[in-house]
Structure 1
Amino acid sequence: MALTQSGSGRDGWSSRTAFILAAIGSAVGLGNLVRFPAEAGANGGGAFVLFYILCIVLIGLPVLLSETLIGRHGQAAAPESFRKVAEQSGKSTAWEHVASLGVLSAFLVLAFYCVLGGWVLYYVGVFAGDLFTTGISGGAFSDMTVAEVEGLFPAMISNGTMTVMLNLVFLAVTVFFVSRGVSGGIEKVAVYLMPAFFVLLLGITIYGLFGGQMGRTLAYLFTFEPERLTGPVMLAAVGQAFFSLSLGVAGMVTYGAYVGRNVNLAGTSAIIAAADTAVALLAGLCIFPIVFAAGLAADGGLGLMFTTLPHAFQEIPGGSLLGLGFFVMVGFAALTSSVALMEVPTAWVSERFRFARPVAAGIVTFSAAVLGALSALSMGVLSGFHPLGFLPMFEGMGVLDTLDTLTGKITMPIGALLTSVFIGWVANKRLVDSENGLDGGLHLFWRFLVCWLCPIALTLILIVGIFPGVLGD
């Protein structure tokens, strides 16, 4: 039986497990698999990891619970859920615009995230083709030079036709699941793909334990160097914790609306945050043994995934099969995240304009395809187009980088900041207490975090994102 609210008649998760897997799939994405390991290794190892986990507990988890309880109480698309909570608290319904900003953020992220998903599909195809032609013996791309392997990525992103088509394919897969509803589509992709993702992640990590340089990886990621934990590094950990859980895009407000009253939101949110953190830690143990075994530098960013790792797979036995498994795993993570991102504006369009779900999903997909095409082409023929280049923080940025910066440094932090203010200072306390699943000392501690620590930390993220030099080097 679906976990819908009694008498609501809305589609919902078929079980608590389904909700947890879907929420984990929403949070786990490219940031966990690439950004966290690189940030940890470059910013103090174990000290950074410890502070990051602290930030997850003290900042990420309280906001995650706040978003989920708003959705569960409202039982509607994110803006309507905010409006209901505000109305029942005797406050201005203008607070619904916080969620509207989240809906916009989710749409903008979807538009460029599916471009990255298309890049992952390209590498799945490349490794599958190499495995078919050369088999599993030896390294990947045995008939190619190192320069040719490293040149795959720039050649791909400069091919406008290819990147646009890959983006459309990834969008098509995403909308297929979203258009089928919560229990019939979104839940299915989570229930089947997330376990498969974890199996692949653990499998590749075990390979690294025996076939890679795990000792060097452990030293790189977990050597405790507190002297390197400076102000900017600590703020980087705060930001990583915030972005890792995909906060500020109204995703958990939307997913929370499909959760029944019999689910304890506090305990469930803790499981989601713990799983997301575990994936981030395992990602480092999965990737860097392979990179180090190939004698390569652990560079961060997209270059690690799309340039360094293909080169690394070229240098190790069974590289074609391992590379295929890795990019299939990344594809699963990207798909569960893109489904969650598309669900946010789709639910809003469907409820706001009373469109059938397939129609609403189609409208969102078409709009995202247009903006996504501009993002895909911004690495090639539109590389000279800088839509917000007249603003200092967007100077020289193409469409994709502009969307990434706009959402990551402005709209998402604002959304999360206002959400914590709304729950901590605006919403009726009894209403919040009835939803959060906490009592006693834990409840008082959570309220302190939401009222004080989270707004301060998120304000710092916002200020540093807009004025990056404010904390110095």
Structure 2
Amino acid sequence: MAVGPKHEQWSSQWGFLMAAIGGAVGLGNIWRFPYMTGENGGGAFVLIYLGAVLFVAIPILIAELQLGKRGHKDIVSGTRKVAIAAGKSPRWSIIGWLGLLAAFFVLTYYSVIAGQVLDFVMLSATGAFSGVDPEVARAHFDDLQNNPPRMILWHTVIMAITVTIVAHGITGGIEKAAKIMMPAFFVMLIGMFFYSMATGDFASGWNYMFTFNLDNVTANTVLMAIGQAFFSIGIGFGYMLAYGSYLPKDISIPHTAVIISLVDAGVAIIAGLVIFPLVFAYGLTPDQGPDLIFRILPMAFSQMEYGGAVGTVFFLLLTFAALSSAIAIIQPAVSYLEESHGMSVKASALTAGAVAWFIGLGSILSYNVWAGHYPLPMFDTFRDSNFMSVIDYVTANYLMLVGGILIAVFVGWSFKADWVKSEFKGDNPIFFNTWLWLVRVVAPASVAIALYFQLVA
């Protein structure tokens, strides 16, 4: 097997934090979290989601970063290396394969959605949402979806930017881009928060998100909250495993994982407090699913005094979030090609990007030309699912969850004691023992139950 170049390291903890937070803070927070909240009972969903972050996602994220750091290679080779060193079967490298495949297939349609966001930046900036009838503003998304060449253009732009950044390596590409994009993202997010507080129906938005009603809690609410915690933070997608492999020895994984997770959850909450007050202020309803961002919010922007400017800022911050995640989820495939197959980082990035771009065309056609085509009608689960829906469902409901369970079980039960304890030096023993109990029992059991109900459903 060809030997790749020397494995890079993050130049600083700040650089790693910005890249990791950028990977976690993406469309899952600003696009997916608000509509999931709207579809699953508001405050009840938020509370269960926060519990899932604390007791399921954070313990597994700590384990995933430890596994990546210990492997110090691409996620397939690194997982195999650690398994052998722990005296276990090299077949545990399945963890790396699941993460690589989950991240790569998510990238194929993530780039398509990010392209739609970028299109809306241009629409907002050119006044498409300013002073027009709300239904006209709403119709822009239909126009985009029914225009394959236009969608392909923006899909190509997003993938080209992603490949260009990743082709410059960890420190010269991903870390440098994250240090620029993430501060800009947070400035725009905070600005939007204060704007929403000043001009929106903030009281209604707040009550919607933080009023807990037991009547709204169902088994599906719990399952969706666990899935959202995974999807948002990026558990089981392979990129946290990859990012962990570039960590220097002196960075504390437990503390860093807690920071990443809490910032990620905080962004999701703030995004909800940006979106819902604006939705309520203009008499719109929040339980509109994925349409919330692309159809409902433009209707609100069309009625604002400075709707064009506000819409431009909102979709620009969403673009930054999407790009920071796209460069994260392509990295497992890039590092695998580079280190296990001896390709240069530029060739690896171009190859991974080109293949993902091509598969992404299927997701674009799912909106229009293939709108009535269902590739797997022989399976009840996928009888009414188009190409994009099948990929989304398999990655988010199977690959990601199975990968998360395996990471928790492998690190919790198979890691050598001194490996684990070395990452908790100086920490309160209660912190370590609580994490060990959560990662060994609570987290994998919770995810396994969620996976079981997915299979039964």
Deviation readout 1:335-379 (Å, 9 max, x if unpaired): 000000111110111111010000011110110111011111111
Contact 1:27 1:276 in 2 (8 A): yes
**TM-score relative to the length of structure 2:** 0.95
Q: Distance in 1 between matches of 2:134 and 2:166?
A: 40
Q: How far did 1:28 drift?
A: 1.0
Partner of 2:431: 442
Contact 1:69 1:436 in 2 (8 A): no
Change in 2 beyond 3 A, CA 1:395/1:436: farther
Partner of 2:69: 72
Q: Distance in 1 between matches of 2:297 and 2:41?
A: 23
Does residue 351 of structure 2 align to residue 363 of structure 1? yes
Contact 1:204 1:326 in 2 (8 A): yes
Partner of 2:136: 148
Change in 2 beyond 3 A, CA 1:224/1:341: same
Secondary structure of the residue aligned to 2:82 is: helix
Q: How does 1:27-426 map to 2 (within 5 A)?
A: 27-130=24-127, 140-142=129-131, 144-426=132-414
Letter in 1 for 2:136: E
Letter in 1 for 2:108: A
Q: Distance in 1 between matches of 2:199 and 2:76?
A: 50
Q: How far did 1:436 drift?
A: 5.0
Contact 1:33 1:284 in 2 (8 A): yes
Give the 4+ runs in structure 1 shifted more than 4 A.
Answer: 436-439
Deviation readout 1:299-334 (Å, 9 max, x if unpaired): 343200000001110011100000000000000000
Q: How far did 1:250 drift?
A: 1.1
Q: Distance in 2 between matches of 1:399 and 1:342?
A: 20
Partner of 1:10: 7
Q: How far did 1:33 drift?
A: 0.9
Q: Distance in 1 between matches of 2:343 and 2:211?
A: 54
Deviation readout 1:234-277 (Å, 9 max, x if unpaired): 22222221221111111111001111011010000000001001
Contact 1:44 1:223 in 2 (8 A): no
Q: How far did 1:188 drift?
A: 1.5
Q: Distance in 1 between matches of 2:362 and 2:48?
A: 38
Contact 1:164 1:377 in 2 (8 A): no
Q: Distance in 2 between matches of 1:235 and 1:436?
A: 31
Q: Distance in 1 between matches of 2:246 and 2:222?
A: 35
Q: Distance in 2 between matches of 1:244 and 1:106?
A: 13
Partner of 1:460: 449
Q: Distance in 1 between matches of 2:395 and 2:108?
A: 11
Q: Distance in 1 between matches of 2:9 and 2:301?
A: 42
Change in 2 beyond 3 A, CA 1:38/1:112: closer
Letter in 1 for 2:115: G
Partner of 1:19: 16
Q: Distance in 1 between matches of 2:173 and 2:360?
A: 23
Q: Distance in 1 between matches of 2:414 and 2:230?
A: 22
Deviation readout 1:118-143 (Å, 9 max, x if unpaired): 10111011111118xxxxxxxx332x
Unaligned residue ranges in structure 1 (runs of 5+): 1-7, 132-139, 469-473
Secondary structure of the residue aligned to 1:232 is: helix
Q: How does 1:424-435 map to 2 (within 5 A)?
A: 424-435=412-423
Contact 2:227 2:397 in 1 (8 A): no
Secondary structure of the residue aligned to 1:130 is: coil
Contact 2:134 2:300 in 1 (8 A): no
Q: Distance in 2 between matches of 1:300 and 1:28?
A: 22
Letter in 2 for 1:218: W
**Does 335-344 or 223-232 show the bigger shift?**
223-232
Contact 2:43 2:209 in 1 (8 A): yes
**TM-score relative to the length of structure 1:** 0.92
Q: Distance in 1 between matches of 2:270 and 2:135?
A: 29
Q: Distance in 1 between matches of 2:363 and 2:38?
A: 30
Q: Distance in 1 between matches of 2:393 and 2:456?
A: 12
Contact 2:38 2:287 in 1 (8 A): no
Q: Distance in 1 between matches of 2:248 and 2:305?
A: 49
Q: Distance in 2 between matches of 1:435 and 1:347?
A: 24
Contact 2:36 2:289 in 1 (8 A): no
Secondary structure of the residue aligned to 2:118 is: helix
Q: How far did 1:431 drift?
A: 2.0
Contact 2:130 2:303 in 1 (8 A): no
**Does 223-232 or 351-360 show the bigger shift?**
223-232
Q: Distance in 1 between matches of 2:370 and 2:287?
A: 27
Q: How far did 1:44 drift?
A: 4.4
**Does 422-431 or 281-290 show the bigger shift?**
422-431
Q: Distance in 2 between matches of 1:382 and 1:403?
A: 15
| Count of aligned positions | 452
Q: Distance in 2 between matches of 1:286 and 1:59?
A: 27
